[in-house]
């Protein structure tokens, strides 16, 4: 698979990037898990910021704008680093498909759904991505070992999300039911993207992110112009700030970290950051939107952390610990 290139003294040379197979990575250090936490922080801000932006910017325009902001930021950084975007059709087909299932379709669906669903509800529903990734990996691709420990972790994590948001968040399937089901379907798309993203491990993560976002923003721009007539909109300062912050922080840095985590940690562990996003996302919903937090937050956090530990700690480490007991 062709790699991105870097300019060296006028001679084009391959950009050396880490490679990985489709199997689960081996030894992991604290830096790998720090990347996972950073990814969770980036993506946990998505839903509260989206709620702010939707106050005065329609969904299609909002997604297109944030994608183009992120792409522009990454292209500037790539130019500073001296790395070129691939120009071959094969690379752009990969970028286009990855962007479609990892951002364009699911975020359009979720952004529309957030017109009817609170940010806290969105956080808990979107956290089910690891569950779907586990099921897809176990039943279809089988490119990573789907152990019983990871299944337990997935169940614990989902139980934690229920405890954090409370039964009210999941019992409100009334007039919002279609929006909530749409969010769940979007998480299936996210899960497929984490698996397909392994095919992009030969490219620099920033190149993948820039190419994907540029494709997504460009494709949606004509739709936004025709449907939303953005020149007639009057976005608030808060909505504009939310768009820029989402573009640079959530989209640009988030996608870079996403592909780095896929390479270093594998599909299932990368998806475990969905559980880390929950307490962070709920906290941001409270701070930015004034949404309420259920009283059983402490129990939920314990379950979430237990689920993350079960999904991320290598099975051999658990066996060694059990033998010492």
Residue 104 has pLDDT above 80, yes or no: yes
pTM exceeding 0.85: no
Q: DSSP assignment of 217-283, as one string?
A: HHHHHHHHHHHT-GGG----HHHHHHHHHIIIIIIIIHHHHHHHHHHHH-HHHHHTHHHHHHHHHHH
DSSP string, 128-158: THHHHHHHHIIIII--S---HHHHHHHHHHH
Query: Tokens 């409100």, residue?
Result: 172
Q: What is the DSSP string of 59-125?
A: HHHHHHHHHHHHHHHHHHHHHHHTEEPP-SHHHHHHHHHHHIIIIIHHHHHHHHHTTTS-HHHHHHH
CA angle 72, 200, 188 (to 5 degrees): 90
Average pLDDT on 117-131 reads 79
pLDDT tens string 57-82: 999 999 999 999 999 999 998 999 89
d(CA 63, CA 227): 13
Burial class (CB in 10 A: 0-12, 13-18, 19+), 198: buried
Contact between residue 186 and residue 105 where contact means Cβ atoms under 8 Å apart = yes
Cross-strand pairs, 12: 7
Closest CA to 50 of 135, 107, 132, 127: 107
Q: What is the pLDDT of residue 228?
A: 92
The per-residue pLDDT for 208 is: 85
What is the rounded distance in angstroms from the CA atom of residue 147 to the CA atom of residue 150?
5
Q: Give φ, ψ of 134 to 5 degrees.
A: -60, -45
What is the band of 12 on the pLDDT scale with cuts at 50, 70, 90? very low
Backbone angles phi, psi at 60, to 5 degrees: -65, -45
Q: What is the pLDDT of residues 302-314, one digit of tens each?
A: 787 777 777 666 6
- Side-by-side strand order, sheet with 5-8: 11-14, 5-8, 83-84
Q: At 234, give phi and psi (nearest 5°).
A: -130, 75
What pLDDT is recorded for position 5?
44
């Amino acid at each position: 698979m062709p790699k991105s290139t870097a300019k060296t003294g006028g001679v084009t040379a391959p950009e050396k990037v880490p490679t990985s197979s489709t199997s689960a990575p081996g030894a992991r250090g604290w830096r790998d898990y720090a990347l996972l936490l950073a990814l969770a922080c980036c993506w946990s801000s998505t839903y509260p910021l989206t709620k702010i932006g939707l106050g005065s910017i329609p969904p299609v325009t909002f997604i297109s704008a944030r994608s183009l902001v992120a792409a522009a930021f990454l292209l500037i950084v790539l130019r500073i680093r001296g790395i070129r975007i691939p120009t071959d059709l094969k690379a752009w087909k990969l970028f286009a498909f990855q962007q479609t299932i990892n951002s364009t379709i699911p975020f359009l669906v979720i952004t529309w759904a957030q017109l009817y669903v609170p940010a806290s509800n969105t956080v808990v529903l979107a956290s089910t991505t690891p569950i779907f990734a586990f099921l897809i990996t176990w039943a279809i691709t089988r490119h990573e070992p789907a152990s019983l420990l990871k299944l337990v972790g997935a169940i614990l994590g989902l139980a934690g999300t229920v405890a954090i948001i409370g039964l009210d968040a999941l019992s409100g399937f009334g007039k919002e039911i279609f929006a909530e089901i749409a969010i769940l379907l979007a998480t299936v798309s996210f899960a497929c993207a984490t698996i397909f993203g392994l095919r992009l491990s030969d490219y620099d993560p920033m190149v993948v992110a820039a190419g994907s976002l540029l494709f997504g923003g460009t494709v949606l721009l004509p739709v936004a112009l025709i449907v939303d007539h953005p020149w007639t909109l009057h976005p608030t300062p808060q909505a504009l700030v939310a768009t820029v912050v989402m573009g640079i922080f959530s989209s640009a840095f988030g996608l870079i970290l996403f592909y780095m985590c896929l390479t270093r940690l594998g599909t299932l562990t990368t998806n475990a950051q969905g559980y880390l996003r929950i307490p962070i996302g709920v906290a941001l919903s409270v701070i930015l939107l004034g949404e309420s937090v259920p009283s059983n937050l402490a129990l939920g956090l314990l379950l979430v952390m237990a689920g993350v530990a079960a999904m991320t700690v290598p099975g051999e480490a658990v066996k060694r610990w059990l033998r010492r007991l």
